[in-house]
Amino acid sequence: MKKIIVTFLIVLLPFTAYAVDGADLLTTIDRNLNPESYESYRKLINIEPDGRKKEFTLFTVKKGVDKVASIFLAPASEKGRSTLRLGENMWLYIPNIGKPIRITSLQSVVGGVFNNSDILQLDYSAEYNVEKVEEDGNEYLLYLKAKTKTVAYDRIKIWADKGKKLPTKIECLTEANMLIKTLYFKDVKDFGGGIIRPAVIETDSPLYKGYKSVMIMAKLKKKTFKDEVFTLTFMPNMESLR
- 217, 176, 175, 173: which is closest to 195 by C-alpha? 217
- The set of residues, in sequence order, having a beta carbon less than 8 Å from that of 238 and lying 6+ positions away, is 59, 69, 70, 71, 82
What is the number of structural domains in the chain?
A: 1
Q: Which residues of the chain have pLDDT under 70?
A: 1-18
Within-domain flag for 77: yes
CB 201 within 8 A of CB 188: no
pLDDT of residue 136: 85
Q: Is 112 left (phi over 0), alpha (psi -120 to 50) or beta?
A: left
Tell me if 67 sits within 8 A of 39, measured CB to CB: no
The values of phi and psi at residue 3, to 5°, are: -65, -40
User: Per the domain annotation, does 15 fall within a domain?
Assistant: no
Classify residue 232 as left (phi > 0), alpha (psi -120 to 50) or beta: alpha
Contact 72, 58 (CB under 8 A): yes
pLDDT at 4: 47
Is 4 part of a structural domain of the chain? Answer: no
Which domain, by its residues, includes 205? Answer: 20-241
Q: Is residue 35 part of a domain?
A: yes
Q: Does a structural domain hold residue 14?
A: no
* Residue 220, in any domain of the structure: yes
pTM over 0.85: yes
Give a yes or no: residue 188 inside a domain. yes
CATH number for the domain including 102?
2.50.20.10
Nearest residue to 119 via CA among 59, 197, 52, 37: 59
Q: Is residue 5 part of a domain?
A: no
Residues 53/24, Cβ–Cβ less than 8 Å = no
pLDDT value at residue 18: 52
Q: How far apart are CA 196 and CA 188, in angstroms?
A: 7
